[in-house]
Structures are given as C-alpha cells and as structure tokens.
A and B are shown apart, each in its own frame.
Chain A
Amino acid sequence: MNLNSATLEQNPWTRREFLSAVTQTAAGAAILAAQPSAWAASTGRSARSRRPRVALLATEIRKYSHAQHFVDRFLEGYGWEGQHHRPPFELGSLYVDQFPEGDLTADRRARHKVKVFPSIEEALTLGRSKLAVDGVLIIAEHGVYPRTEKGQTQYPRADFFERTTKVFESSGRAVPVFNDKHLSTDWGKCVAMVETAQRLGFPFLAGSSLPVTWRIPSLEIPWGTPMTESVCVCYGGVDSYDIHGLETAQCMSERREGGESGVRRLQAVRGAQVWDLLDQREPTRRLLAAALTRSFTAKGSPNYPCALPTLEWLKTNAKNPTAYFIDHLDGFRTTLFLLNGVVSDFNYAGLAQSGEIFSCQMYLPMPPATASLADFFNPLVNNIERLLLENAAPYPVERTLLTSGMTLRSVESLYLGGRPLETPELKVAYQAPRHSTYWRS
C-alpha cells in the first residue's frame, strides 16, 4: 500500500528549517521586544540594542555544583514548556571564588566566550568604573569554606551581596539580584541583605528550587485556606538540606488564611527526642504518615521495600533522625523531619482546619541516580528570568528570610542539645502571591 503523499507533506518543517528557527528563537528578540519598558527603565538603554547582561558570582563551577547548573542554563538553555528555551540574557560575566579539581570555568569560558573576572567588582562593571550588568546571580553553594562551631558552612553569600550592593551604590544604579538558597548563617546579615535591597529599591529573589519544582501530584493549596500545620519529610544534613525542607513547607504554609505571621518559638532535636516530641502531637503523626505516602523512596522493611514505614520502623531505622518543631505567631506549626535512611526525597503534608490533608512530593530529578540533569533548576532559572524581565520578584524574599532564620535558629537549638528557643527576631510577616510559581506547564 502507498501512503497518501498529501498527508505526508502536511508537516511544514524540515530539520534544516527547524534548526534555523531554533537559532533565531534563541536570540530572544521577540521576548525583549515584548518587554521594552522595564529594561529601558532599569538600564537606561534601548531594550533592542543588546541582550541584557547577567553577572553570575559563583563559589565554584564543577560538575553538579549549584553554579554549574545555573551557568549552563543561561549559556545553553533548558527544556521549558515543550521546547528548548534559551534565556533572553547574555551571561556577561563570571566571578568564580574557587577552582577545585574538575573545575569547568575554563571550559565554559572557551566554548562560550564568557568573561571571567578576578573580582566581584570587575564582574559587575565588566572591568569599567560603573555597574555594567542588568542582573546579578549569587550562587554561593559548594566549595571549601570555614565552618562555625555549630557546624554551619560559611558560604560567602552575604559577602558577595554586600560587595554587589556597594557597586550598586557607587554606580547610582541597582539591578535585580537572585541569591541561591538561604541568605546567611548570621541572622543580622540576613536582615541586612533584605533591608539593603529595600533601601536601594531593587527586586531581590532568593531561596531553594524546592518550592518551584515539579509536584507529584501537581498540587497547590488554595490561597487563603485556613490551615494548622505543615510537615516536610526529607533527607540530608543540617544547614544544607534542612533549608530545602523548610522552603518545601513554607511555600505551602504561606498560602494559609492570614498569610505568614512569623515564628515565635522553635525546638530542634535529634534521636529519641524526635519520637518523644512526636508522641505528644497526634496531628503531626498524621501528617508524617501522609507525607510518607508521597515518597518514592520510603522503605518500610528490608525484605519488603513496598511496605510503608510505620512509626515503630522509623524509630529503629532512621539514622540519627532530626526534627525541627516550629511554632508560628498565629498558632500555626511547621515540622521538619530529616529522616536519612528512610527517605531520599522531599515530601509535604499540610493540615487544613477542616481536617483535609494536602500532600504531595516536591520531585527532584536528581543526577546521577534518577536523571542526567538536575532539571529542578529549570523552574528556578525561569523564575529568575521573570525577576529580570519584570523587574519584580515572582515571590517574596521574606519567605527565604524566614526560612533562613528558621534554619540558623534550629541549628542553634541542636547545638544547645535540643533546647527550645524563643525567636522574637523571626517576626517576619508577609503575604504570599495568589499565583502559583511551581513547575506545572
């Protein structure tokens, strides 16, 4: 039988035509043309004259370091909404603080002609006297840095930020800034970062990729829902993955009726204390169970991996379990469980006043185990693009100010042997946006 030739000719694209179209799309001219006013206002230049430039300040660029994920998504593009999307920005400059074995800075510079500067100031001014970029990304995760006596790694986020804003001030102009993960291990510096952004009037976005990654199932808590508690069950270390877990919970909690009120008190504990405190909290136990049902990794038995872990199983099999019990000012509660040996994913459950439980997994395609790319950075980079294009943060930096505070005060509570801490400084009240910002299209 002969196929109908008319049918075969309906596809209007050949490979050559398609490649050509992709290349043209990559220039991002159409996107810029649609957004001329914001950039003309912030840069003082015609939006059509060049692609806006971004400076990326990194601690280190090696395979699977956070900075590598961001750098490559700006240089190479990434899968987004059913196409390979290239950000309409030029990665105009890089500052790299450390060059470990496996460093990829030279490779990226050679292949993409990215300018690498020896100082933050030169990266921001492109070696000239005034600010010469249109946005700044601070990716200070990974690398070798001093640790505090409490075990926190002192990544230089606040230092990078301070040096950045000094350039803003000396230039008489400020541009949007993104800060990866929590703000600082020092609360005073966290507050100063947010206040400086407010004082200089530039949009400031920060935080983890967890709030914006896939949710399985795709779940958003209806804005304004009366809620009583959020639980995140996840894995990882203190002062590293705990912030991801807290952001997992907070991006849901902040949508509750009345918005976020801030945190009044918290207690972080390890080992048997986790279960002792949990025994006193029936709703938390229910939410823990609900969150575990969303895990793709929760094993309840060595012989029978499909069995769901019971509380008794958790008590005997979680390796050094850690939990943060956090009381908010409006009576709401957040509980974070770091259950290494039980799960290796991030799972959420929230309790509404009605008794309804919302639950999902914030899914991370994590290389090399389940993916070759850490594509949970795709929605984070896309939200950064929105920050740059719209000159406004798509979600409030107060979320990350609060989770930074929850993290560093929980670390302190752990350091003090699980002592409860009053946290009057964490009265960080804010309203979440009604719109959703997670990956769902």
Chain B
Amino acid sequence: MKPTRKIAFLLEEFSTPSPSQQLLDRFLMGYPHNGSFHRPAVGEFAVYLPPTHESDYGGRLKDFNLVAAPTVEQAVDGADGIVIVSRRPGAVANDRYAEIALAQAPEGAACFIHGALASTLERGRALAKLAASRRVALRSGIALSVTWHLPELALAQDTALSEALIVVQMSPPLPGSPGTLAGAELNALEGLLPIVERRRGGEAGIRSVRRLEGDDVWRAGDRKLWSWPLLAAALSRSHSPQGDPVLDGRTQDLVGLGLVPKLARHPQAWLLEQCDGLRTSILRLDGVVDDFNFAVRTAAGQTFSAQLFRAPPPLEHHFSLLAAVVEEFIGTLKSPWPLERNLLIAGLLETFRDPALRTGKAFATPQLNIRYRPTT
C-alpha cells in the first residue's frame, strides 16, 4: 500500500456521533484492525465544510494535523485520497462535492463517497465517466456492506439463489435535512447486494420493481410475492424484537404467532425481480425489530440467514471495518467492489422515489439492467 500524501474530507456537517466524525476520527486517530490498533500513514489532512456549518471539529483542528480548507478545490488540491461524507448517507450533496472533487483531484487519486454514489443513475453515470476520464478511482458505500454477519455467512460464492429478503427500519430523521434519501432503503441495498451479487452468474440487474405499503404488504406475502418463511428466518436472527419482549423480556416467535402485521408501523415493501429470475424483497418493518436481518434461499432449497451487525454507539465499530476498506482503496486503488454495484444502488434509490411506483404494480426497469461480477 503506497503512503498517502494527503486526504481531503468533504463534509456536509460535523457532529458527534455522525458518519463524518466516525470516518474522520479513524483516519486521524487510528482504529482497531485485525486485533491491533492501526494508525493510517497519512501526511496531511484537509477538511472542508460549507461556510454555513463552520466548526472547529470538536478541537480536532488544534489537536491533530487537520487543516480546514476554505473551498472544496483547496481541500482536494494535491490529495491522493478524497472522502465525501454527507449529513445522511445518500444526501444529494454528494453530487456537487463529487463533481468538483473529481474535476480537481490529481490523476491517480481515489475518491470514496460515504452513502449513495449519486442522487440519480444518470448523475452517477456522469460521475463515473468523469472519474474515468480523469483517471480517478471512484467508489461509494456504507459500513453495512462490510460489517460482521451474525453468524458469519457460510454461503459459498457462485451458489445459485432463488430468493432473498432483508428486513430494515427507517432511521430516525435528522431535523432539517432536505434532500435526504431514505436511509432504510440504502441500508437494505448496501446490506443485501454484496451477498446476492456473489450468486451464480453474478449480479444480473433488475428487471422490475414493485412497491407496496400497508396491508398490501401482508397480502403480497400471502400471494407468495415474497416469502413468509424467509421473513421468519431473517427475524430469527434479530436480537431486538419489539412488543412483548420489550415489555417483559420474553422471547417470541413473531412470525409464527402472527405478530408481525400487528407490530409493524406503516409497513413498506420493495419487491425486485432480477434479470436472472432471483427475487429480492426489501421489507421496511418499523416497530417489529430494531436491527437489520436477512435471509436467502438457494436454488437447492437451503436457507441462510444472518444479522447485519451494527456495533453500539458511540464508537460504532462497523465504521472501523469501513475505514479499513477506504484506506486500502486509497492506498492501492484496488476496487473493493465493482462500481456497477454503486450505479445499481443509485438507480434503485431513484426508482424507489418514482411516483409511478405508488400504484403497487410492477414497474419495468430496463435502465437497471446493470450486470457485474463481484470483486474477488
């Protein structure tokens, strides 16, 4: 891994805790990695915040070798690593920062965006094109795509899959955060795509998307549009069932007892049909559990399930795993995952916001015919 001369952090806000703080601190102070404490070798740190969010970064300007740059251009000047962190993963500010950063960064730099690559597929493609033209490596992602699985998933690469399902919840909204994409959907896609893209043939792209809400979600399950058994498998991995367990600590078979529809507040489902026939269901079930869990069924009928582990705040050490990935990306320019994954997620998030999905009918998505093989 080559030494990093300079890293620029382009932030939309800075508070503790926040993704900005989590990633910046790990580069400034180090982080646990493979059983030891690792300090990234970085010559210079620059950080940029919009003038409306002036900050001393909680004393970091004084205590660390951190320089507040007045403009994005000055921050990225000479930087071989650029990390863009929005207020919320997926916020549209990424697009603006990324365009400037990619235009200004020196050739051979790496730019990592925390969150979605861009607010639309078209803008994502434009960023990818710009990055390629300037020979700057570009990736986006969040910690959920690299976090621990409980249990570690024993799903072999190139296993043929027939169905996948993930259960997520909406993160509490931050006050005054316009332009924020829904965190739940981003979490679901970042959590599940790294798993299903390892299936036989790799990721085949998305043929259609259907969005359901309210009781239509349960009716769709009964019509086998998504799988109750996979939901049960996913929820069996949860450590945070809501309802009676919160009241008196009892364990409960949430699916078997028919409690899921009773507990869910404003349930939503996104049903994806992949171009190779895989069916992926994203269930946003606020009020049912408070952690992210998934299950996949192989073509041979086996079911694998796990929890996407989020380490407790304020340290949130899944950010240590992400920091290690970002540091290696900057230091080696080696792709941690294909850029097509980031494009597909940007396109899916854009599709999820499309008012046409409110009909509850399947919505053809030829633009999401994005095929790729996972990085090995």
Measured CB to CB, the residues of A under 8 A from B are 1-4, 7-16, 18-19, 22-23, 26, 63-64, 68-69, 72-73, 75-80, 82-86, 104, 107, 214, 216-218, 289-290, 293-294, 296-299, 303-308, 349, 357, 359, 363, 365, 367-375, 439-441
Please give the distance in Å from A85's CB to the nearest CB on chain B: 8
Give the residues in chain B near A441, CB-CB below 8 Å. 151, 154
Q: Is B295 an interface residue (CB 8 A)?
A: yes
CA of A15 to CA of B217 in the docked complex: distance in angstroms? 12
Q: Is B255 an interface residue (CB 8 A)?
A: yes
Instruction: State whether A375 touches B26 (Cβ < 8 A).
Output: no
Instruction: State whether A84 touches B241 (Cβ < 8 A).
Output: no
Instruction: State whether B315 touches A306 (Cβ < 8 A).
Output: yes
Please give the distance in Å from A290's CB to the nearest CB on chain B: 5
**Range of interface residues on chain B?**
35 or more
A1 contact from B148, B240, B363, Cβ within 8 A? B363
Give the residues in chain B near A80, CB-CB below 8 Å. 236
Give the residues in chain A near B279, CB-CB below 8 Å. 7
Give the residues in chain A near B303, CB-CB below 8 Å. 82
Whether A72 touches B249, Cβ cut-off 8 Å, given contacts A82-B305, A83-B232, A296-B311, is: yes
Instruction: State whether A104 touches B238 (Cβ < 8 A).
Output: no
CA of A427 to CA of B222 in the docked complex: distance in angstroms? 61
Please give the distance in Å from B174's CB to the nearest CB on chain A: 20
Please give the distance in Å from B325's CB to the nearest CB on chain A: 16
Instruction: State whether B249 touches A64 (Cβ < 8 A).
Output: yes
B228 contact from A13, A63, A290, Cβ within 8 A? A13
Q: Is B111 an interface residue (CB 8 A)?
A: no
B30 contact from A12, A18, A217, A308, Cβ within 8 A? A308
Please give the distance in Å from A80's CB to the nearest CB on chain B: 7
Instruction: State whether A365 touches B239 (Cβ < 8 A).
Output: yes
Task: Kindly list 20 other residue pairs between chains A and B, CB separation below 8 angstroms, not including A218-B152, A296-B317.
Answer: A7-B273, A18-B255, A26-B256, A64-B249, A68-B249, A68-B250, A72-B250, A72-B251, A73-B251, A75-B250, A76-B251, A79-B235, A86-B253, A294-B35, A307-B25, A357-B35, A371-B239, A371-B240, A372-B241, A375-B239
Give the residues in chain A near B240, CB-CB below 8 Å. 365, 371-373
A-B CB contact pairs (8 Å), 20 listed: A4-B273, A8-B224, A9-B224, A15-B228, A68-B248, A73-B251, A79-B238, A82-B237, A83-B232, A84-B232, A107-B248, A216-B150, A290-B36, A296-B312, A304-B63, A306-B22, A306-B31, A367-B249, A369-B312, A373-B249
Give the residues in chain A near B314, CB-CB below 8 Å. 299, 305
Whether A3 touches B255, Cβ cut-off 8 Å, given contacts A18-B228, A304-B29, A375-B239, is: no
Give the residues in chain B near A368, CB-CB below 8 Å. 246
Give the residues in chain B near A68, CB-CB below 8 Å. 248-250
Please give the distance in Å from B54's CB to the nearest CB on chain A: 19
Give the residues in chain A near B241, CB-CB below 8 Å. 372-373
CA of A80 to CA of B253 in the docked complex: distance in angstroms? 11
Q: Is B208 an interface residue (CB 8 A)?
A: yes
**A102 — nearest CB in chain B belongs to which residue?**
B248
Instruction: State whether B25 touches A304 (Cβ < 8 A).
Output: yes
CA of A234 to CA of B359 in the docked complex: distance in angstroms? 53
Give the residues in chain A near B151, CB-CB below 8 Å. 214, 218, 439-441
Q: How many A-B residue pairs have CB under 8 A?
A: 187
Please give the distance in Å from A137's CB to the nearest CB on chain B: 16
Give the residues in chain A near B290, CB-CB below 8 Å. 372
**B23 — nearest CB in chain A belongs to which residue?**
A306
Instruction: State whether A293 touches B35 (Cβ < 8 A).
Output: yes
Q: Is B97 an interface residue (CB 8 A)?
A: no
Instruction: State whether B37 touches A308 (Cβ < 8 A).
Output: yes
**A80 — nearest CB in chain B belongs to which residue?**
B236
CA of A4 to CA of B305 in the docked complex: distance in angstroms? 26
Give the residues in chain A near B226, CB-CB below 8 Å. 11
Measured CB to CB, the residues of B under 8 A from A are 16-17, 22, 25-26, 29-33, 35-37, 58-60, 63, 148, 150-152, 154, 162-163, 207-208, 210, 218, 221-229, 232-233, 235-242, 245-256, 258, 273, 277, 279, 290-291, 295, 303-305, 309, 311-312, 314-315, 317, 362-364
Give the residues in chain A near B26, CB-CB below 8 Å. 306
B249 contact from A7, A63, A75, A363, Cβ within 8 A? A63
CA of A322 to CA of B16 in the docked complex: distance in angstroms? 31
Please give the distance in Å from A216's CB to the nearest CB on chain B: 6
Give the residues in chain B near A305, CB-CB below 8 Å. 16-17, 25, 314-315
Instruction: State whether B362 touches A293 (Cβ < 8 A).
Output: no
A69 contact from B249, B254, B273, Cβ within 8 A? B249
CA of A104 to CA of B247 in the docked complex: distance in angstroms? 11
CA of A289 to CA of B315 in the docked complex: distance in angstroms? 17
Majority DSSP secondary structure for residues of A touching B: loop
CA of A193 to CA of B204 in the docked complex: distance in angstroms? 61
Give the residues in chain B near A293, CB-CB below 8 Å. 32-33, 35-37
B258 contact from A14, A19, A78, A79, Cβ within 8 A? A19
Instruction: State whether A290 touches B35 (Cβ < 8 A).
Output: yes
Please give the distance in Å from A372's CB to the nearest CB on chain B: 5
Instruction: State whether A84 touches B237 (Cβ < 8 A).
Output: no
Give the residues in chain B near A303, CB-CB below 8 Å. 58-59, 63
The 7 closest A-B pairs by CB, nearest first: A1-B364, A79-B236, A293-B32, A365-B239, A11-B224, A371-B239, A84-B253
Please give the distance in Å from B259's CB to the nearest CB on chain A: 11
Give the residues in chain B near A369, CB-CB below 8 Å. 312
Please give the distance in Å from A430's CB to the nearest CB on chain B: 28
Please give the distance in Å from A438's CB to the nearest CB on chain B: 10
Instruction: State whether B312 touches A84 (Cβ < 8 A).
Output: no
**B64 — nearest CB in chain A belongs to which residue?**
A304
Give the residues in chain A near B256, CB-CB below 8 Å. 19, 22-23, 26, 84
Instruction: State whether A3 touches B29 (Cβ < 8 A).
Output: no
Whether A2 touches B36, Cβ cut-off 8 Å, given contacts A297-B312, A306-B26, is: no
CA of A289 to CA of B38 in the docked complex: distance in angstroms? 12
CA of A82 to CA of B151 in the docked complex: distance in angstroms? 10
Instruction: State whether A14 touches B32 (Cβ < 8 A).
Output: no
A373 contact from B154, B239, B311, Cβ within 8 A? B239
Instruction: State whether A22 touches B224 (Cβ < 8 A).
Output: no
Give the residues in chain A near B255, CB-CB below 8 Å. 18-19, 22, 84
Give the residues in chain B near A85, CB-CB below 8 Å. 236
Instruction: State whether B239 touches A370 (Cβ < 8 A).
Output: yes
**B323 — nearest CB in chain A belongs to which residue?**
A306
Instruction: State whether A3 touches B249 (Cβ < 8 A).
Output: no
Instruction: State whether A307 touches B232 (Cβ < 8 A).
Output: no
Instruction: State whether A18 touches B362 (Cβ < 8 A).
Output: no
Instruction: State whether B228 touches A14 (Cβ < 8 A).
Output: yes
CA of A107 to CA of B239 in the docked complex: distance in angstroms? 23
Give the residues in chain B near A79, CB-CB below 8 Å. 235-238, 251
Give the residues in chain B near A349, CB-CB below 8 Å. 35
Please give the distance in Å from B364's CB to the nearest CB on chain A: 3
Give the residues in chain A near B236, CB-CB below 8 Å. 79-80, 82-85
CA of A11 to CA of B231 in the docked complex: distance in angstroms? 13
CA of A293 to CA of B26 in the docked complex: distance in angstroms? 13
Instruction: State whether B35 touches A13 (Cβ < 8 A).
Output: no
**B21 — nearest CB in chain A belongs to which residue?**
A306
A3 contact from B17, B162, B362, Cβ within 8 A? B362
Please give the distance in Å from B14's CB to the nearest CB on chain A: 13
Please give the distance in Å from B320's CB to the nearest CB on chain A: 8
Give the residues in chain A near B238, CB-CB below 8 Å. 79
**A3 — nearest CB in chain B belongs to which residue?**
B362
CA of A12 to CA of B232 in the docked complex: distance in angstroms? 15
